[in-house]
Structures are given as structure tokens and as C-alpha cells.
Chain A
Amino acid sequence: GQNIDQPTEMTATEGAIVQINCTYQTSGFNGLFWYQQHAGEAPTFLSYNVLDGLEEKGRFSSFLSRSKGYSYLLLKELQMKDSASYLCAVPNQAGTALIFGKGTTLSVSS
């Protein structure tokens, strides 16, 4: 089956850079997703990686190493509004649904 690990909590200050790691073990690999979820709200899509390397999208970047079963989400120039949970997810073995990690709660302080 699919297994995903990510840190439970992280803290950072405004303007800083933070890296949120995710390691996974999967039966087959069909890409890795990152979602952002503010408290009390639904998750929203941030990024998708299927090939090794770094994908940059504004202040957010996502990295994937398939050989290491490892991904990270890099957030630059942190803002207070970046305080949220960040969820790492991979497709299930059949490719019909996403399996989510427990999420990393990021707290940004001034």
C-alpha cells in the first residue's frame, strides 16, 4: 500500500524560507501532489510532480526525487497568510484516488 510521512508541525517567521519534507513508499508511482489547507477550509491544490527535479511556481516550489521516495515543498518570503497545513499526497495503487499524509501544520509569526 501507500505510506506517507511528513513532520507534524513547523514554525517560521515572516520573510523566511521554510522547507516541508515528505517521504513516501508506494506500489508504483504516478506522481506526487501538494495541497494547502487553511484551518476550517477545504484543501487547495499547490503543485504536482511526476518527474525528478524542482518545479517553481512563484513563492512556492516543489521538489521530487523518485529514487529516494522524497519530496519537499519550499516556501519563500513567508507571509502570515501562509500559516496552514500542507498535505503531501500520492495516488493509490489503482490510480483512482489520492492518499494523503497527515499534513504539516506551519505557523508563521511576525
Chain B
Amino acid sequence: SQTIHQWPATLVQPVGSPLSLECTVEGTSNPNLYWYRQAAGRGLQLLFYSVGIGQISSEVPQNLSASRPQDRQFILSSKKLLLSDSGFYLCAWSRRGTGELFFGEGSRLTVL
């Protein structure tokens, strides 16, 4: 069976500090991978998606970046966090050709 894990689950970071969130998928090959963010009281916002190693599509211009160094690994990064980066970050995967998303447990980021 397929599983998805992301970490850390919770983190509190000062403004201007770097960020790295990691996500891995097991039990499948060539998944589509996604990063979404959910700010307080707002909907799920698509940040990045990837259809293959090194292939990243950015949906929203901001100070975040994503990388896919391996087939089942997706990393969300920032060099300098802003207060507005606070939120609930969700990694997800889907099979090629289907739309159903399977989400990780989420990472709650608070920027102070």
C-alpha cells in the first residue's frame, strides 16, 4: 500500500529564518507531487506541483521554492521566512492520469 509522510509536524520559526519541509511517498512510482498551504480561515492554496524529478511548476509567486531530488521526495524551502508564511502546509501525491489526491499529515508553521 502507498503511504506519504511529511515532517516536521510542527515548527515555530523567527522571521527571516530558513525553512525546509520534507515529504516522501512510499509504495508507488512516478507519482505527481504537490505542496498546498492553508492559512487560518482560508482555503487550500496550491503552491507547487511536480510531474517528475527536477520538474517543478509554481502556482503562486512568493519567497518559497520546491525541489524534487528523487522520484518520491518533495522538499519545500525558503531562504527567509515572512510572517505571512505561517500556515498549515500539506504535501500530497496522485497517480498519473487521475485527480484524486492523497495527503500527508501536514506541517503547521508559525512564523514569529
In contact, A97 and B90 (Cβ under 8 angstroms): no
Residues on the B chain within 8 Å of A35, using CB: 101
Least CB distance from B47 to A in Å reads 10
In contact, A30 and B103 (Cβ under 8 angstroms): no
* Interface class of chain B by DSSP: strand
* Number of chain A residues whose Cβ lies closer than 8 Å to a Cβ of chain B: 24
Query: Is B32 on the interface with A (CB-CB < 8 A)?
Result: yes
In contact, B99 and A98 (Cβ under 8 angstroms): yes
Query: Is B83 on the interface with A (CB-CB < 8 A)?
Result: no
In contact, A44 and B103 (Cβ under 8 angstroms): yes
Least CB distance from B43 to A in Å reads 4
Q: List 17 A-B contacts (CB under 8 A).
A: A31-B99, A40-B88, A42-B90, A42-B103, A42-B104, A42-B106, A43-B44, A43-B101, A45-B102, A87-B44, A89-B44, A92-B46, A97-B34, A97-B59, A98-B99, A100-B36, A100-B44
